[in-house]
Every structure is written in structure tokens, then in C-alpha cells.
Amino acid sequence: DIQMTQSPSTLSASVGDRVTITCRASQSISSWLAWYQQKPGKAPKLLIYEASTLETGVPSRFSGSGSGTEFTLTISSLQPDDFATYYCQHYNRYKFGQGTKLEIK
């Protein structure tokens, strides 16, 4: 069973910062990875699929990269609306990482 591990679990940053969240798979998953944003009390929102393709309507400050076992989600310049929890997900059996909470510093 493939495990997905995100780091860090919590990230404190300021508006305008560039931030990166990492997701590691316990074995190679090619590019079959998605990223989601979830705000409190709301459903998750798909940001990126197939590791690096931006979902329609998602701001271009979000980007994804990686393949195999290591992936990153980068926000180039944090906006106030970006403070949320982020999850990676491998397609097979919809395996989610444990989440990264992005907090205001």
C-alpha cells in the first residue's frame, strides 16, 4: 500500500511570501498526483492534477512539480485567501497525504 507523506505539517508565512509544500510517495507514482486546498467548514477544491496541470480557474501563482516519489506545490506570492490546509492525493485508491496547514505568521 502506497503511503503519501506531506511536509511540513504546519507552515507559518506572510502575505507575499513564496511557499513550498512537499509530498513524498513511498514508491513511484509517476505523475498521478493531485493537490487540493481546503478552508475550514468547506469542501476541498482541486488545484492541480497530474502533478503539474493547473485546474481551470485556479490562479497562476499556484504551481505543481515533480514525478516519481517527490512532488511540490508552490505558491509564488501568498495572498490572504491562500491561508488554508493543503492535501496531496495519489490517484490509486485516492490516497491522501495527511495535510499541511498554512497559517499566517
Partner 1 sequence: EVQLVQSGGGLVQPGGSLRLSCAASGFTFSDYWMSWVRQAPGKGLEWVANIKKDGTEKYYVDSVKGRLTMSRDNAKNSLYLQMNSLRVEDTAVYYCARDRDSGYAGGDALDIWGQGTMVTVSS
Residue numbers 4-63 binding partner 1 by CB under 8 A? 32, 34, 36, 38, 42-46, 49-50, 55
Per CB under 8 A, 103 contacts partner 1: no
Count of positions (residues) in the chain: 105
Cα gap 92→6, rounded to integer Å: 17
Distance of CA 47 to the CA centre of its chain: 8
Smallest distance from partner 1 to CB 80, Å: 23
Q: Which residues bind partner 1 (CB under 8 A)?
A: 32, 34, 36, 38, 42-46, 49-50, 55, 87, 89-99
